[in-house]
Amino acid sequence: MKFTHLKKNKEIKMVDISKKKNTHREARATARVKFSLQTFKKVVLDDSPKGTIFNTAALAATMAAKKTYELIPLCHNINLSSVDIDFKIIKKKSEVEVISIVKSNTKTGVEMEALTACSIAALTIYDMCKSFDKKIVINDIRLLFKSGGKSGNYEDDNIYPSS
């Protein structure tokens, strides 16, 4: 196995996708945001002094997915067909799980866009809650699923239930 973004002399390169065919691509990713019980209650009740936390985080995630190529140096600028952001409330753990689903009909995958979306949504939630809790933890940012392309489908076999 070789790194696709490195030449034989270890110089970096952008992967050449010019000869690839457009295919349907989809990726799902997740991130978890862990709160103190007091902060979790504020978040769940949408009682943040900065406004609607989840709507803001979803908008930030969508914008980030569209700009992934500007943030990750060797990512391609691709047209996204869909960016869907969802939030699952995990009461037992005082956590919010961010889930992103990104779709495109293009020559390259959308895994980085899905991962970027989750990361930025989690960071936006942190930003909106940091005024009353600096101990918020963001963790478990990972790819859950991807389809399309030469490498085929991937599904995380360690997916754990949200509750």
Of the candidates 84, 86, 127, 133, the residue annotated as catalytic is 127
Q: Are 93 and 163 in contact (CB under 8 A)?
A: no
Helix (H) or strand (E) holding 1: none
Of the CA atoms within 13 Å of residue 137, those in its CB half-sphere come to: 8
Report phi then psi at 72, rounded to 5: -105, 115
Q: How many CB atoms lie within 10 A of CB 6?
A: 12
| Annotated catalytic residue 157 | no
Q: List residues with catalytic annotation.
A: 127
